[in-house]
Chain A
């Protein structure tokens, strides 16, 4: 039973399909107009049915006004961290502070290797991600003197110039499920971004996993509330309630408010490729959830 006290945010997780070409962009625009906080795209650079996610994020940000954009989550093994840091700062500046860095250690190693990426073991991928996080933060910090030096096992940066400073403090959110990654989140990340559908036991699994993050944060001298808890969710709107996130908007609001109050989830990212669903989510579920949480806090 943990509520970290964060303000609630609502976003969508859109399939970055390359055909129809503008599908994902149109949904990003719809999310923006509907008043959602966040639009996200998965990143599988080995998948030609999808747009390149970095390109899509930049283009979608240019076509929207207020909504924030993030990978869900970017594929580190196929993206050069120092260049990615500079690109992230650029996109944040161009968009007036609307970029968030959702990033993962990679998971489909056959496909990554097929594209020319380096195959890493689980432990190695966590270390590589930690090195990358250091590079990101150093590049984004021009207030520090001297060039960026990271002599990592997987990534080396030898005196790269710092900057530019992004328009806002870009949070780093990690997709993760295993203890070593969760501890890394507690030590160094700004958010945890799992998918509810990947938790075999459902929402109740969030509790123990949160504890791993919280303990690692405390051990590193950080408050657990320094880590935002995000969650990819899926469901169906229907007139009758038939289960968790399957029912009318008011039931959705109760289900999501429960996740906030019991498990500390504060950003809900709905997987959908349907504009009407997205609009209903923004218009009815988001305000009702906020109201329920505010009343209970």
Chain B
């Protein structure tokens, strides 16, 4: 049972203060009637938005919005915006209109009762269609009263905005049963018996339409004089107190709400959400701590995909603590029949953190960033590198990561971490001092060089196979302002550019770490060089950049001195909407030899690759003993990544042209699932050691969907 207030939106009164008071008193909902033809009243939509900006928790609705004077397609867009801005607090309660003289006087239509019901039904279809932003197709609707020839859907609201109708007549009640999410009459107009009869009619219409009547919320406006005994007998899920009198609100909150609140629990999800559940998943057994999102939930479109890969998982689990992760993994252990993806921020090119019909365990909410000592931090796997860079900047520190601020800590650290400071400060995983890991068994262990050293070894380079890391402890480096360069050079001679880039980077001081991005060569093609110089001295920066800027005619340049956090502030907060299956390959190489460069040019000219990127490793990365961590390929000076449109075509060319030149690979950037990729990533000694550890720590293969080390 929920409780609301209905406040007169008088522009001579103070409806905003009354709304805030409603919130303070613990009401769940605040509502305002809507009569756009009435100048003594505020415009209700404007007032709802204003009140949303002045409250925190209370939900908001018109009571009820005047549909004939509000175009449904624009109303849907407005509703999505207000729901987003208010953090999911808008409900839509609509009325078919009733004061037709006043509506027409304002320039609206005059409708007969049957027409009003018909128009309301059309509006419901339009609003639902416009808000169905998980559906990528345009929304089209042609009704008798409204037409929406070809609109784009969205934006996706923060929560599933219900459509409630104020209604009296049997035709409208049957419409509610067929299509609406709630009924909102006033007790003073329908009476107790009328409420019961109306509910019965709604239930019958719902069942006739194949709906579960309990999916339809029953709300009712009541005046303060209705005694508690009557309120207790009402067939209603929400009582809305119709008053502008604060003392009546206070009395109701103190005397009525506690008595009535401890009643009827509804199933958490309506039947139409449950209808989208996938086979093989025990939805009733999901731990509450997982805060799960199902395919029918409003948040599903935000979570189903990763940065590049489209997904359609059966459930997304969202733990907040290590204990929650333990429970989530226990749930996953009961579902060996479906895929399991572990996700930090969902940026992995490989796309292993989503799937079809399986479980996604997202650690995005374990996103703490804590400074725990001098150049020592603890972070959660869901923290993003831009946020970490920003947190460290005031101390003059930085932790090298990847090249993009939106990437999460968990997936990157456990695989390597090839970033802007790699040549000077090494990989991200080289800075890891300890970690808390939830193992396949559900056991939580703290690993470091002295405790479970073998497991500590394994998670630095092969972490995807061994557990969910819930806390990372890192040493960070002292890094002041850096030079950040974005250069465009002539790309018409790809082989020459590659060869000269390789030579220039290998000869450069370690302060410089550079990337080269190329695409298919054609007249006017250019190659992009992105480079960081770990220095704040302009002369040093320019002199270190000069060799890489000279590998081909320079077409454009932009060099800035910025805090490292400025380099990493390159990601927005948007949800992922990857689609389809990305095709990517990666390799590690010591030198960009003329032979490799010629082969790469042939690959680029084939048109099979639309994105070709080289990142620098070497330098400090190569200082570490190859056996010190599971990341094995220390001798390489470059990481090579390509993205194409077809896995088959990319594989054929890559295998023939480039694979022979590589000494290793970086699996986070690879979508080729063939088992030989394991042998590329790990030399025999590493691979044997990892397989032994896999048998010890994950004998049943719980972590099996991300370059699985079992079954050998």
Contacts and interface: CB of A to CB of B under 8 A. Distances in A.
Given A45-B74, A142-B39, A163-B39, A82 B46 contact: no
Nearest to B153: A48
Contacts of B53: 58-63
B85 A22 contact: yes
A59 B52 CA distance: 7
B80 to A, nearest CB: 7
Given A62-B53, A160-B106, A86 B85 contact: no
A97 B70 CA distance: 25
A93 B69 CA distance: 21
Interface in A17-56: 18-22, 25, 45-49, 51-52, 54-56
A62 B50 contact: yes
Interface string A135-178: 10001001000010000000111111111100000000000000
Name the interface size band of chain A: 35 or more
A93 B11 contact: yes
Contact of B572 (A20, A87, A114, A157): A20
B315 interface: no
A84 to B, nearest CB: 9
Interface string B558-599: 000000000000001111000000000000000000000000
A115 B105 contact: no
Given A114-B150, A116-B149, A162-B39, A56 B69 contact: no
Interface residues of B, number: 54
B391 interface: no
A63 B45 CA distance: 16
B286 interface: no
Contact of A116 (B39, B69, B151): B151
Nearest to A45: B74
Contacts of A164: 11, 39-40
B152 interface: yes
A55 B36 CA distance: 16
B73 interface: yes
B81 A51 contact: yes
B147 interface: yes
Contacts of B710: none
Nearest to B150: A114
Given A94-B50, A114-B151, A157-B107, A52 B74 contact: yes
B148 A90 contact: no
A117 to B, nearest CB: 8
B620 interface: no
A291 interface: no
Interface in B169-209: none
Contacts of A286: none
Interface stretch (A73-81, A242-250, A257-265): A73-81
Contacts of B105: 147, 157-161
B80 A52 contact: yes
The 8 closest A-B pairs by CB, nearest first: A62-B53, A48-B154, A58-B49, A163-B39, A87-B43, A52-B78, A18-B155, A114-B150
Given A83-B70, A89-B39, A90-B11, 20 more contacts: A20-B572, A21-B158, A45-B77, A48-B77, A48-B153, A52-B82, A55-B78, A59-B82, A80-B107, A82-B69, A82-B106, A86-B43, A90-B47, A94-B47, A115-B73, A116-B73, A116-B149, A147-B105, A160-B106, A160-B107
27 contacts: A18-B80, A51-B155, A52-B81, A55-B45, A60-B53, A61-B50, A62-B49, A62-B53, A80-B69, A80-B107, A81-B107, A83-B36, A86-B36, A87-B43, A114-B150, A114-B152, A116-B71, A116-B146, A116-B151, A157-B106, A158-B105, A158-B107, A159-B105, A160-B37, A161-B38, A163-B39, A164-B40
